[in-house]
Amino acid sequence: MLRQSYPSPSGNVREEMALHLERIRLSGLTQLEYCRMNKLSYAKLVYWMRKARNQKFAR
């Protein structure tokens, strides 16, 4: 099944994903539970988590 990609409501995908990453950390939910509740792709979340981690190490 193909998933349609929608533009970020805020227009800034990085800020939006940073917000999701922080909300996951504070929620007490598993990453998968959070994705299901917020209709996020788990694969996309993993991609952004990896990207955020790599940016921290690059600093």
Q: How confident is the model at residue 53 (pLDDT cuts 50, 70, 90)?
A: confident
HEC string of the chain equals CCCCCCCCCCCCHHHHHHHHHHHHHHHCCCHHHHHHHHCCCHHHHHHHHHHHHHHHHHC
Q: How confident is the model at residue 1 (pLDDT cuts 50, 70, 90)?
A: very low
> Domain ranges in the chain?
13-58
CB neighbourhood size of 20 (10 A): 20
Higher pLDDT, 45 or 56: 45
**Which tens digit of pLDDT belongs to each residue from 20-37?**
999 999 999 999 999 999
Using a cut of 0.85, tell me whether the model's pTM lies above it: no
